[in-house]
A and B are shown apart, each in its own frame.
Chain A
Amino acid sequence: MSSPTSIVDLHDESLLARLQDLVAASPVPEAAISEVLQVLQKARGYIDGEALRLAASLTGLSPVKVEELCTFYSLVLREPVGTHVLRICDSIACHMAGAQDILTQARQHSGVDLGEVSRSGKLTVIPHVCIGLCDRAPALMVDDQALGPVDTQTLTQLLAQLEADIWKPS
């Protein structure tokens, strides 16, 4: 998944219909929230306030409850991101295998703080909880693809590819 920051109109009929179908197919409306958020994030790039309220009203949850979910699940984005999102695991196994160095390198490359969009608009680096690749620590995710182990060299290559728009998920 690349993450375009183009904002799709929330009144888009087909999008709304899709979201409503998801809710209707769910045993209770509240249970559809994760899927609704996923679809909204794909369409809008991230969950802005308007999308959050739409998700709340569709599922009958309060906006606070939706925000609780959004902030709990680190795959849900509440701020605009670059064309590619680099999620670098900083949980225990990766930490021990040098995740901090990877994070620092990626952040320096992006030229902005963690979570912000790099000046080229191509990249956002985010620290992330364990992605289940502890055996391949230090690990990371480029958009939807998990990679590991990563070292300084492979990261340099990866960053260059992302910058040049030639990176392809395998």
Chain B
Amino acid sequence: MKHVFFLDGQEIPFIPGQNVLEAAIAAGKDQQIPYFCFHPALGSLGACRQCAVKMYSHDSKHPPRITMACLLPASDGLQLVTLEDDVHTEHREIIELLMTNHPLDCPVCDEGGQCHLQDMTVQTGHSVRHYSGPKRTYRNQDLGPLVYQEMNRCITCYRCVRFYQDAAQGEDFGVFGSRNRVSFGRLEDGPLESPFSGNLVEVCPTGVFTDKVFRHDYVRVWDLQQGPSVCPHCAVGCNTTPGARLGTLRRIRNRIRPEINGHFLCDRGRYAFPYATANSRPLQPRLQGEPSRQDAVLRQLASRLEEGRSGFLGSPREDLHSNLGLFALADCLHAPFAAVTSSWAEALAQQCLALPQAPSLQEVAAADRIVVIGDLDSIAPMAGFAVRQALRQGARLTVLASSRTELAQKGDYRPLRPSALRDQVARLADDPCLQGGRFPVLLATAETLGPSGLYALRKTLEKLPANARAGAFVNRPNLFGAAYFAADGHTERLQQALRQRKINHLLCLGADPLGEDWGAGTWRTLAPGLDGLTLLDMVDSETARSAEALIPVAAFPERAGLFVNYEGRIQAFSPVYRREAQVLHSAVHGSGFPEAAGGLKHPLGPPPPLFWLGRLAEMLHLHEAWQKRLDFYLHFLCPEQPDPEGPGVLLPDTIRARFEIAALPATRAVTPEQWELDIFRWYGGETLADTADELHSLAPARGLRVHPDVQAVAATLHGPCGDLQLPVIACAEMVQGVIAIDQEGFAELGLYPGDPVEVSWEQSR
């Protein structure tokens, strides 16, 4: 049955449970009801008193009365009016009160042009302030490099604190004072600690909280080019709206996608974008480290490929088209191809792919029994956010990890060494922590759990009720897409070919086999057999600088593509701006002189990987065969091209089934006396994100994280591929016998999470 009420005589449909304002906004009628404190994801509060409507009763006994639309449950046949003088007066007077202390600084306010307060003030017709007393003035806080505060603009809608404390469950932000001296911020100056702090910028309907990174290279929003994109910084694939101007990317905003990120983004997703504007970003091809021309580099590469001694390496960091384009080229040339840099990572990818349909984040938020394995917030922060939403609904959370992570503090924490995780996970089906629930969900950080742990997870899932779901997360946007065609032993075969000198050249796409990627230690030992390495990438690295040829590629918002997220959801993104637009009159981007007058040459935007691969195929006279293979693979994985504005397309279950029989690598046994390794990550860390200065300035120090009982200032770890010497960082509540290191550390040692490690402690410096 269709439910409707009437607003100024017009039918407004509603879903039972909605309030009047919510239904009116959904019906696009928010022009009639101004509001502030209501937010679709934060609900109603009734704090601002702005959303007045007049309600007529059905009988003649009760006179009509003015009431708050956000607090009035929608009900059938309700008669509401806003087009009457007293309602108008109410709207105008309330906003005048809210504006009493508001500075008249719209021209210099970053919110201008996207300001809810500005819109509502104009909409209600308030233009003259009758109060002539002095305005209240606050001292602003320095909230770190990401969020800028200008407290005088506050209208006390409480959206910020409801987001930060209730939704994101952060503890370092609050509301202070009373009466007309209420302020919102931290106990003292300092960077906001929540991985979700950047959402303050979007939830605040005024210019109190604005984007501090955008501020460095600011333009009015009406001058921004915007479009639908997908976050490239982890496997969740949150939907984003990048904004660019004059050929450079300026900011990232959330794009509402109810199934995944809803109204929010994590700080990595919002603030990692400067990888696309970084001075270090390669924009011109390089040969032997020197800037070169496109055709020269392509000719060099084509002659390399013609020699027939090249191997191909794809990457979960790159999108589907690029990986399949590379795979198709390898196929045409009968050359070895791998999608990931180590056999361990290959097994990991296969076990992730073999998991049955993972829950969407919207479903995670509705779960009532949740088990989290590892530090989820540091890999896929928005997955951690979804767990927090479930907790608010009373879900029971159990966290299995080697340290008391922030999520672990919100649920039952089971301290475990990484090597013990697999057995714990195998026994979870009978564990009390999952009993008695309606909808159990298990969420794992893939690397901490490892391939055999993921296998155990799948087996446990088979024993749980049929609606139980599991998801595994990595901080790469396209593990599923990259690894799909990587059959068993690909990586091993590629390394073997190099070992046996069958190949002497590697063509890498967004992979860094000699840097921080998994298995880099092994690649480094093989490097002497490598005569040349060609890299297609959008960030600079040691490997990029020493490569024989470096081919720069378009950043993700500069091109179209597909990512397959942790659910197997194929999502499309569109090109938002063209890097090649001339940049003029910007202090940041060069001089305002035209080139002929001695001005700087403006870099042309690099094309996407698929363009380069297509050109190569042409030069090798393989274009037709290459295109055919590429089309075939694409059609196989993704018969239906998803719409960038839509929810994407899920990989069918049948397509995952082939990974169920994937082989598992042997795990190394660890005795309780041995030290073992776990991975340490933080919420802002990821290859692209690491080149974003502001975000990266918050990164925790590098070191060996251990239980505080360890009496040492530094230590050297010994691995099969090398040693790693780092200072010791004592971490309260870290499990004894575990050392947590970053991915680079693993790469240097040639080890994996859960492996035992030899340690030499150093007592003093």
Chain A interfacial positions (CB closer than 8 Å to B): 62-65, 67-68, 71-72, 74, 129
**Bound CA span A68–B175, Å:** 6
Chain B residue contacts of A72, Cβ below 8 A? 176-178
**Bound CA span A67–B175, Å:** 9
Contact of B179 with A68 in the complex, beta carbons under 8 Å: no
Contact of B178 with A64 in the complex, beta carbons under 8 Å: no
Within 8 Å of chain A (Cβ to Cβ): is B459?
no
Q: Report B160-181 CB contacts with A as 1/0, cut-off 8 Å.
A: 0000000000011111111100
Which B residue's beta carbon lies closest to that of A61? B171
Chain A residue contacts of B176, Cβ below 8 A? 67-68, 71-72
Contact of B171 with A129 in the complex, beta carbons under 8 Å: no
Tell me if A's interface is mostly helix, strand, loop or mixed: helix
Which A residue's beta carbon lies closest to that of B183? A71
**Bound CA span A155–B174, Å:** 38
Within 8 Å of chain A (Cβ to Cβ): is B602?
no
Chain B residue contacts of A67, Cβ below 8 A? 174, 176, 187
- Since A64-B171, A68-B175 are in contact, a sample of 19 more A-B pairs with Cβ atoms closer than 8 Å, ordered by chain A residue number, is A62-B171, A62-B172, A63-B187, A64-B172, A64-B173, A64-B174, A64-B187, A65-B171, A65-B174, A67-B174, A67-B187, A68-B174, A68-B176, A71-B176, A71-B177, A72-B176, A72-B178, A74-B178, A129-B179
- Could you pull out 23 A-B pairs where Cβ atoms are within 8 angstroms? A62-B171, A62-B172, A63-B187, A64-B171, A64-B172, A64-B173, A64-B174, A64-B186, A64-B187, A65-B171, A65-B174, A67-B176, A67-B187, A68-B174, A68-B175, A68-B176, A71-B176, A71-B178, A72-B177, A72-B178, A74-B178, A129-B178, A129-B179
Chain A residue contacts of B175, Cβ below 8 A? 68
In the A-B complex, the 4 residue pairs with the closest CB atoms: A64-B174, A62-B171, A71-B176, A71-B177
**Bound CA span A74–B181, Å:** 12
Task: Enumerate B144-198 residues with CB–CB distance to A below 8 Å.
Answer: 171-179, 186-187
Give, as a whole number of angstroms, the nearest-CB distance from B176 to chain A: 4
Chain A residue contacts of B173, Cβ below 8 A? 64
Chain A residue contacts of B186, Cβ below 8 A? 64
Centre residue among B172, B174, B179 by max chain A CB count within 10 A: B174
Give, as a whole number of angstroms, the nearest-CB distance from B172 to chain A: 6
Which B residue's beta carbon lies closest to that of A70? B176
**Bound CA span A63–B176, Å:** 12
**Bound CA span A62–B161, Å:** 14
Chain A residue contacts of B172, Cβ below 8 A? 62, 64
**Bound CA span A67–B174, Å:** 8
**Bound CA span A17–B715, Å:** 42
Give, as a whole number of angstroms, the nearest-CB distance from B184 to chain A: 10
Chain B residue contacts of A63, Cβ below 8 A? 187
Give, as a whole number of angstroms, the nearest-CB distance from A48 to chain B: 13
Chain A residue contacts of B177, Cβ below 8 A? 71-72
Give, as a whole number of angstroms, the nearest-CB distance from B714 to chain A: 31
**Bound CA span A131–B8, Å:** 45
Give, as a whole number of angstroms, the nearest-CB distance from B256 to chain A: 29
Chain B residue contacts of A129, Cβ below 8 A? 178-179
Chain A residue contacts of B179, Cβ below 8 A? 129
**Bound CA span A74–B176, Å:** 12
Which A residue's beta carbon lies closest to that of B173? A64
Chain B residue contacts of A62, Cβ below 8 A? 171-172
**Bound CA span A65–B172, Å:** 9
Chain A residue contacts of B174, Cβ below 8 A? 64-65, 67-68
**Bound CA span A65–B177, Å:** 12
